[in-house]
Structure 1
Amino acid sequence: MFDVLKNSWALMLGMLLLMVGNGLQGTLLGVRGPAEGFSSLEMSVVMSAYFAGFLFASRMTPDMIRRVGHVRVFAALGSLVSAVLLLFPALKDPIAWSLGRAVIGFCFCGVYVTAESWLNNSATNETRGKALSLYMIMQMSGIIIAQGLLVVPDSSGFLLFVIPSILVSIAFAPILLSVSPTPAFDTTKPMNLRELYRVSPLGCVGLFLLGGVFSAQFGMAAVYATEVGLSLGQISIFVAAFYVGALVMQYPLGWMSDRMDRRWLIMMAAVLGGAAAVVSLLFGAYFPVLTAAAFLIGGTSNPLYSLLIAYTNDFLEVDDMASASAGLLFINGMGAISGPLLIGWLMQTFGPPGFFGLIAASLLTMALYAAYRMTQRSAPSIEDTGAYAPILPSSTPVVMEVAQEYAIETAEEEEAA
């Protein structure tokens, strides 16, 4: 791990700062929107727009890089992020915020794709798994740190929008001054979705449901916390708890996934997360209960992403993994777009409990479907399963590609042994 950090410290530092900026703006909008009189449904559209922009950019950015190169794409999109962040406090309108969030989602995805392509280019067969782990730690740490900045005094109502803008701008310096341009990469044509579902029904259904759960955490958690009357300090702790849980529980679940039927682990993790959401529905008035539930939901739902991808890979030929990853990313993205919209409607109709209601329904549905799939076919033997790679639901095609390369290399090494 030290060797990976030594060779890519500038990239990791830049990504840490980017995640602090991105994590702060998402929570900040969730707090400020209701204060400006935006309804739950309007805020759901604002939050969903980010994931729509993100998904669109995952298809567009490779073409942009091929045309003008990594450095220009990285600098241009980053500058646009800084500018849009400063427009939010000036344009207090849900339509303007929705457009701004779509642009932010597009730009951040493009920035991630570019930076992650540098990471992939610098990784070797021996360091790829460690690079993925370190990259995930930087992402999670950045979002957690961002929540602490939410309590910075801001009497003007403008300062907290300036901070992420500055952080994003600063993040470019260590990256652009230390990395060299990499060759443009070719994207893999996605596997037909019908074929992908035939290969792994649980992977497809699970990733769609999980997209909604993750987007709820990243987009609507602060909206929920604001509407139930939590203080700024409590909101920052509540939102951070999702990502602390993800950071703490990623590796234990990953260790278990290589030693048992992954469907059992998927089912148990989904039940645990769903049960935590149900407890929040019943005892949500108690802040310690909310925090503990957020920890468990984040700690189970985020590793589930890696689990579902690893499980799907168990039924794929090595040559099909790359094309399958593009299809899985699309399915997860569609779920991420729909998640905030459904939660916004539920919160508008039934009040704040609709937030945990959708999370509980999604995770428990996943658990039931995993139990059903266990009756339909046998699992591959433990010796035949692929490697678990820790990646997040916010992954771009590049990280998916790195994870699949890691799985392919591990499978080839095991065959050779």
Structure 2
Amino acid sequence: MIAVLRNSWALLLGMMLLMLGNGMQGTLLGIRGGQENMTTFQLSIVMSCYFVGFLFGSRMAPDMIRRVGHVRVFAALGSLISAVLIMYAVAPNWIAWSLMRVLIGFSFSGVYITAESWLNDASSNENRGQALSLYLIVQMIGIIAAQGLLNLGDPNGFILFIIPSVLVSLAFTPILLSVSQAPAFESTKPLSFKQLYDASPLGCIGMFVLGGVFSAQFGMAAVWGSQAGLTIREISIFIAGIYIGGMIFQYPIGWLSDRIDRRKVILGLSACGGVGLMIPVFWDVPFWALCGVGALGGAVSNPLYSLLLAYVNDYLDRSDMAAASAGLLFINGLGAISGPLITGWMMGVVGPSGFFLFMALLFAALAVYALWRMSQRKRSADATSSFTAVSPSGTAIVLEVAMIAADNEGPESESHLAGAQAKAEARQDGTDTNQP
């Protein structure tokens, strides 16, 4: 751990500052948009556009990096992020915000890809898992701390838009001054959706569903808070609770999933999320209970993301992990684009409780699907990889690193390779009776 900090402290510090800026802008737009009399559906389009840009960035940024290099892409996209954060306050119009959200989502995606490739290059096989854990921790700390910064000014003014712009600008200073050599960058052609689905139907459907959950949490929580009449302080506490819940429960759930059938953990978590998030739909609960429900949502969704990756890993050949990570991220991104749009529509139909209803229905659907998949075969594959915590905001690079690190740390990793190869051959000739 000390070696990782010594080699990557500047990169980790820069990423924490970036997450401070990103965490502030998502919540701030939801609050300011309500004060500018934007409708819930208009704000849902604004929030969805971030994930449109992020998805495009994940596809286009690797080509940009190969053409002009890491440093130029990093600096150019960072400047664009800083400028857009200021422009939000200059043009408080939902159409302008939608276009700017596409730009900022694209830019953050490219910045994350660049930073994560540097982190991967600076890590060794022995400490890559530790580097990934530290990366997750600084991301969570950044997002949580960002909610506290929202209380430093008036959303109707400029100061709260200037702060994240300055933080993002400062984030690049330690990174660009400390990174001496840009790593070699190679992209892997993703597996086809059919190949991914054949490898793990539950993994693919689960990643799509969680995309909708995450985008609702990240994009629509502040919109819900404004509709529900919460103060800025209460909104910031509620959103911070979502990420605190996710951070606390990652490792206990990971420990459990390495010891029992992962499908049972997926089923249990999804069912808990579905039931828990229905509470504010049917009952008028006090604020502290709302915070508990929000923390429950984070405690379910964040570990589920890492758990589904580990589950898919159990059915993959090691040589397919890089390709699978890109495909899974794309599936998750498609779900993320639709999340705010459907949430906004439901909030317009049933009121603010539509925010919780949407996520509860997604969790319930995932639980039902997991139960159905369990009925389609007698047993699950042996857990041949370990659970590794991953942030939902990570790119295909960090997903690939997580999957390989989990595979290397898993029990009998050499037998995993042989077993995965046998499973791949069995799928080709139709004799596999243990397909997920």
How far did residue 115 of structure 1 move? 0.6
What is the CA–CA distance in structure 1 between the aligned matches of 2:27 and 2:292, rounded to whole Å? Answer: 19
- Shift in alpha-carbon separation, 1:114–1:238, aligned structure 2, 3 A: same
What is the CA–CA distance in structure 2 between the aligned matches of 1:116 and 1:256, rounded to whole Å? Answer: 28
What is the CA–CA distance in structure 1 between the aligned matches of 2:155 and 2:205, rounded to whole Å? Answer: 46
CA deviation map 1:99-151 (0-9, x unaligned): 11111101111111101110000111110111111100000110000000111
Aligned AA (1:363):
F
- Shift in alpha-carbon separation, 1:114–1:284, aligned structure 2, 3 A: farther
Q: 8 Å contact 2:28–2:155 — kept in the other structure?
A: no
How far did residue 154 of structure 1 move? 2.8
1:409 and 2:408 aligned:
yes
Which structure 2 residues correspond to residues 26-45 of structure 1 after superposition, within 5 A? 26-45=26-45
- Shift in alpha-carbon separation, 1:109–1:41, aligned structure 2, 3 A: same
Classify the secondary structure of the residue corresponding to 1:225: helix
User: What RMSD over aligned residues (CA atoms) do the two structures have, in Å?
Assistant: 1.5
Q: What is the match of residue 336 of structure 1?
A: 336
Aligned AA (1:194):
K
What is the CA–CA distance in structure 2 between the aligned matches of 1:219 and 1:38, rounded to whole Å? Answer: 15
Which structure 2 residues correspond to residues 170-185 of structure 1 after superposition, within 5 A? 170-185=170-185
Q: What is the match of residue 389 of structure 2?
A: 390
How far did residue 416 of structure 1 move? 7.5
Classify the secondary structure of the residue corresponding to 1:89: helix
Q: What is the match of residue 233 of structure 2?
A: 233
What is the CA–CA distance in structure 1 between the aligned matches of 2:277 and 2:285, rounded to whole Å? Answer: 13
Q: 8 Å contact 2:144–2:240 — kept in the other structure?
A: yes
How far did residue 181 of structure 1 move? 3.0
Which structure 2 residues correspond to residues 194-343 of structure 1 after superposition, within 5 A? 194-343=194-343
Classify the secondary structure of the residue corresponding to 1:88: helix
Q: What is the match of residue 370 of structure 2?
A: 370
Q: What is the match of residue 150 of structure 1?
A: 150
Identity %: 57
CA deviation map 1:339-382 (0-9, x unaligned): 00000111112211111111000001101111111111244454
What is the CA–CA distance in structure 2 between the aligned matches of 1:240 and 1:67, rounded to whole Å? Answer: 39
Q: Output the TM-score relative to the length of structure 1.
A: 0.97
**Structure 1 runs, 4 residues or longer, greater than 4 Å off:** none
Q: 8 Å contact 1:136–1:391 — kept in the other structure?
A: yes
Q: Output the TM-score relative to the length of structure 2.
A: 0.93
Unaligned runs of 5+ in 2: 417-436
Q: 8 Å contact 1:71–1:181 — kept in the other structure?
A: no
Q: 8 Å contact 1:314–1:380 — kept in the other structure?
A: no
CA deviation map 1:74-93 (0-9, x unaligned): 00000000001101111011
- Shift in alpha-carbon separation, 1:187–1:288, aligned structure 2, 3 A: same
How far did residue 411 of structure 1 move? 5.1
Q: 8 Å contact 1:278–1:360 — kept in the other structure?
A: yes
What is the CA–CA distance in structure 2 between the aligned matches of 1:397 and 1:188, rounded to whole Å? Answer: 10
Q: 8 Å contact 2:31–2:155 — kept in the other structure?
A: no
Which structure 2 residues correspond to residues 33-112 of structure 1 after superposition, within 5 A? 33-112=33-112
What is the CA–CA distance in structure 2 between the aligned matches of 1:180 and 1:275, rounded to whole Å? Answer: 50
Q: What is the match of residue 187 of structure 1?
A: 187
Q: 8 Å contact 1:65–1:184 — kept in the other structure?
A: no
Q: 8 Å contact 2:216–2:339 — kept in the other structure?
A: yes
Q: 8 Å contact 2:109–2:395 — kept in the other structure?
A: yes
